[in-house]
Structure 1
Amino acid sequence: MSEKVFPKDFMWGAATASYQIEGSPLADGAGPSIWHRFSHTPGNTYNGDTGDLADDHYNRYKEDIALMKELGLKAYRFSISWSRIFPNGKGKINEKGVDFYNRLVDELLKANITPFVTLYHWDLPAALQDLGGWTNRDIAYWYTDYADYMFQRLGDRVKNWITLNEPWVMAFVGHFMGEHAPGMKDLYAAFSVVNNQLRAHSKTVKAFREENVKEGKIGITLSNTSHDPATDSQEDIDAARLAHEWTNYPLFLNPIYNGEYPSGIKEHASVFLPHNYENDLEEIKEKIDFVGINYYSGDLVKLDTKSFLGGKTVERGLPKTEMGWEIYPEGFYKILKGVQEEYNPKEVYVTENGAAFDDSVVNQEVHDENRIDYLKQHLEQALRAIQNGVTLKGYFVWSLLDNFEWALGYSKRFGIVYVDYKTQKRIIKDSGKWYSQVIKNNSFNF
């Protein structure tokens, strides 16, 4: 039994993001974000869905925190909507927006739940997009001003901060594939976004140190897919390594820890990086307190000379979630072990891990055994990682609530709590009840 128990102070939590759950995007003086604009543009989202109501968390946060307490959560990761604080992205402050997050933090602390704040989860103020958004070098200053203001307003109570959520997705899905806001398809823009996000991140870490938030920690959250070579051929091994360097933690952690982009990126993609990017690298190399790892899935990579960076994914016949993502818990271990071996971060948190399935309500209950299986298999790998030297300090399930799944609208459910979008009724799914027992026992073996 004992070998199935997590370390004593392990931080069990759940995660959400502002635009996905809050609703009321323009309430009380908030400005529009790029996601408000993108989702209101016909053809961009499934069914034309928007985050206008979402889970109505803006009005129901007390009810949701009561649910968190019932589940026994030790921590809650949420993001702040930048345009609630600065409706134009900079300049005028909207006190009512600050008030909302003040009340949220106070309510969490009252429930003995530790807040983990993500400063940016993709919802850039639309006014800044009109100035070039993340492709404008000045955004590093705009972002740092916003972040620094939040440290001043919440830093007396919030000790755990995440600068950016999945900057790869922001850069490439938003600026190269055009599937997310702001809906661009420009590879040069995408790489300039990568570089500017890194500059914004490091300036913010520096500002955080200068604010001297007592006992405070700051890190970054990165998206990861476990890329394995499809065969033993050197071509496939190289293609998988390049996919790893481009889409996983090395693209961001190599500059942060080592002051340079990964070798494969320099060799194959440096032409897309902004002019004189080398001049930014010394500043980007700024010590962080932890790395946040998001993981959902894995894939096999085969050489494909026609594709960007020379790889394509191939099927390997594993079961898949409702997102069409293969279930590959072993890859979770590989990512966690890899980040420790490559960069040796002081602390690692799993900031997102979870699965979408086709949940339905039967007699006011949601029996989602497949999600329980998914979570259990991944927690087994998380514990294995800890036993093999990974400094993993906490785990946040994605997500607390079913919510607005970006371009897929309300068609996919990731929550451990079911939300009936018509009535806003919440139902704790079987996976939520199971996770509650995991937290209580500090183990998945009960």
Structure 2
Amino acid sequence: MLLKTVVFCFLLKSTWGTEDRKFPPGFKFGAATASYQVEGGWNADDKTESIWDAFTHTYPDAIANRSNGDVACDSYRLWKRDVEIAAELGLDFYRFSMSWPRLLPSGFPDKISEAGKKYYNNLIDGLLEKGIEPVVTLYHWDLPVRLQDLGGWTNPLITDWFADYARTAFALFGDRVKTWITMNEPIVVCELPYSTGMFPPPTRDPGVANLICNKNILIAHAKAYKIYDEEFRAMYQGEVGITNQLLWIEAETEEHEELSEMARELCTGMYSHAIFHKDGGWPPVLEKYIAMKSKKEGWPRSRLPAFTREEKKLLKGSFDFYGMNYYTSRAARKARPGEKLTDWPLGDAPEIDAKLTKRPHWTPAGSAWFFDNPEGIRNQLVWLKKRYGDIKILITENGYSSKDRRLDDMNRVKYYQDHLEQVLLAIKEDGVNVVGYTAWTLIDNFEWTDGYSVNFGLYDVDFNDPARTRTARASARYYAGVIKRHALDSNQLDSDNKILSDEL
């Protein structure tokens, strides 16, 4: 299979003409970070605790090497260097997230932090001065502790709390920010805390709390979208979307195709169907399945909370684009009698009795959950088009993890090259409306429970250096070359696969 992949890539590079390897006019390239992962300054000025601050301080053993994001990349102080890096790469846009408790210390809009407002104004203005568009995510998992104490994402009132936060951000920064992402990876927000207990809040209650969270986070997104649509769109002409983490799932064998489609709906449809499908609501196959399963389990009603008619109307069409994060893939089969299933979404899918495996030719990356399957990104893009129509898709994360700090990171270069080729094929051969691509990540950062034990950065960060020195890797030079040429150029690598681009 490896030989077949090499031959395929060789033929692709040999037969594609120069024009075929160009990205469409207007296609944009960016890179991303997230507030808790890079900012540090966890208690600077009047910022209050987020759930990740509290989690890493209360359960230090849950994080590799007992590390935390108290300082991280120190981007709260070193934001100018991050802007310089974005400019060195030639980015069209930089995607970053705002920390809810940094901007609203109480969690509510009764007090707006002047320090928090100044920080994000500086970052936004600094990017614009370099000709780089700010793409802002409102929620990348750092919920104010005060709101978690009130029930967090299992309290239906949080939909209004988030809407208030979104309105505040739109009012403060909407004159300059034209692309907004409401939520990053709702599947992680709902499943990793409530199905596994691995992320904050570590409240494992699979099959109940995760589904309540799922509904609430969708409603919160839709309320924020409606606020922008009714109060800010005419004035600022921006766009609002949601970003989902999409694990491409294929059938292990042909006999498991129906199960694998149900697994795709569990991963993607549960956080997409209500917004993007013309019929709205939950994916019908899962709505029916969970209702039947709940009845067998003795529940008086389905564990999957129903949408009201008004909620369905609010949700349906609440998007300007689809934000897609993609890293890896799985193969699905029916669990064997008595076979133990691990927790969704990092392991198996016990809700639908599915075992998720990896194919032998998918090579492992630095993270335990990560196996490289470039074709998966194209398959996922095509699935989205077939399921939801010709929607505009912005790839909001794609990148490669490693356990070392090598600057000559050719595995990462190959990952980017292979995945960008698949994106081009999806655009040119399948007609998918992909408008942009975002590398994860701009710089090495705090990778959640992996701490600093794995790296995704185009730039290395020396976390042993108080100055948090950032140094370009080979992947940064490669990506800068792609952006400069607006194309995949096989001449960018020499015979030894070394980068020919200028040093950054």
Q: Deviations over 1:125-164 (max 9, x none)?
A: 1100000000000000000000011000000000000010
How far residue 206 of structure 1 moved from its aligned partner, in angstroms, is: 0.4
How far residue 290 of structure 1 moved from its aligned partner, in angstroms, is: 0.2
- Matched residues in 1 for 2:451 and 2:308: separation? 36
Picking from 166, 176, 198, the partner of 1:147 is: 166
- Aligned residue for 2:427? 386
- Matched residues in 2 for 1:98 and 1:277: separation? 37
Q: Deviations over 1:202-231 (max 9, x none)?
A: 010000012223220111100011111111
Q: Number of paired residues?
A: 439
- Aligned residue for 1:323? 367
Do residues 264 (structure 1) and 285 (structure 2) align?
yes
Do residues 174 (structure 1) and 193 (structure 2) align?
yes
- Aligned residue for 1:77? 95
Q: Deviations over 1:38-76 (max 9, x none)?
A: 111232211211100100001000011111111111100
- Matched residues in 2 for 1:426 and 1:355: separation? 18
Instruction: Please state whether the residue corresponding to 1:219 is helix, strand or coil.
Output: strand
Aligned 8 A contact 2:405 2:455 in 1: no
- Matched residues in 2 for 1:405 and 1:319: separation? 20
TM-score scaled by structure 2?
A: 0.85
- Aligned residue for 2:263? 243
Give the counterpart letter for 1:51 in structure 2.
Answer: G
Give the counterpart letter for 1:47 in structure 2.
Answer: N
Aligned 8 A contact 1:229 1:300 in 2: yes
Aligned 8 A contact 2:38 2:446 in 1: yes
Give the counterpart letter for 1:63 in structure 2.
Answer: R
Q: Which runs of 5+ in 1 are unaligned?
A: none
TM-score scaled by structure 1?
A: 0.96
- Residues 284-293 or 156-165, more deviating: 284-293
- Aligned residue for 1:294? 325
Tell me: CA distance 1:141–1:310, structure 2 relative to 1, closer, same or farther (3 Å): same
- Matched residues in 2 for 1:116 and 1:155: separation? 11
What are the equivalent positions in structure 2 for 1:13-412 lying under 5 Å apart? 13-42=30-59, 43-90=61-108, 91-187=110-206, 188-213=208-233, 214-233=236-255, 236-248=256-268, 250-257=269-276, 258-270=279-291, 271-274=302-305, 280-304=311-335, 307-317=350-360, 318-324=362-368, 325-361=370-406, 366-387=407-428, 388-412=430-454
- Matched residues in 2 for 1:345 and 1:155: separation? 27
- Residues 155-164 or 36-45, more deviating: 36-45
- Aligned residue for 1:425? 469
- Matched residues in 2 for 1:8 and 1:407: separation? 39
Give the counterpart letter for 2:225 in structure 1.
Answer: V
- Aligned residue for 2:7? none
Aligned 8 A contact 1:301 1:313 in 2: yes
Q: Deviations over 1:19-55 (max 9, x none)?
A: 0000011211011000111111232211211100100
Please identify runs of 4+ aligned residues in structure 1 that moved more than 6 A: none
Aligned 8 A contact 1:221 1:351 in 2: yes
- Matched residues in 2 for 1:157 and 1:109: separation? 8
How far residue 345 of structure 1 moved from its aligned partner, in angstroms, is: 4.9
- Residues 291-300 or 178-187, more deviating: 178-187
Q: Deviations over 1:268-289 (max 9, x none)?
A: 2242223666663232224311
Aligned 8 A contact 2:444 2:458 in 1: yes
- Aligned residue for 1:434? 478
- Matched residues in 1 for 2:213 and 2:482: separation? 39
Q: Which runs of 5+ in 2 are unaligned?
A: 1-17, 292-301, 340-349, 492-504
Instruction: Please state whether the residue corresponding to 2:197 is helix, strand or coil.
Output: coil
Instruction: Please state whether the residue corresponding to 2:453 is helix, strand or coil.
Output: coil
Do residues 414 (structure 1) and 456 (structure 2) align?
yes
How far residue 264 of structure 1 moved from its aligned partner, in angstroms, is: 2.5
Aligned 8 A contact 1:291 1:345 in 2: no
- Residues 96-105 or 205-214, more deviating: 205-214
Give the counterpart letter for 2:363 in structure 1.
Answer: P
Give the aligned CA root-mean-square deviation in angstroms. Answer: 1.4
Aligned 8 A contact 1:224 1:293 in 2: yes
- Matched residues in 2 for 1:96 and 1:163: separation? 22
- Aligned residue for 2:501? none
Q: Deviations over 1:161-214 (max 9, x none)?
A: 001000011000122111111111112111110000011000100000122232
Give the counterpart letter for 1:137 in structure 2.
Answer: P
Aligned 8 A contact 1:32 1:83 in 2: yes
- Residues 411-420 or 237-246, more deviating: 237-246
Tell me: CA distance 1:385–1:360, structure 2 relative to 1, closer, same or farther (3 Å): same
- Matched residues in 1 for 2:426 and 2:91: separation? 22
In terms of Rg, which structure is larger? 2
Aligned 8 A contact 1:13 1:74 in 2: yes
- Matched residues in 2 for 1:315 and 1:149: separation? 44
Q: Quote the sequence identity (%).
A: 38
Instruction: Please state whether the residue corresponding to 2:229 is helix, strand or coil.
Output: helix
Aligned 8 A contact 1:134 1:196 in 2: yes
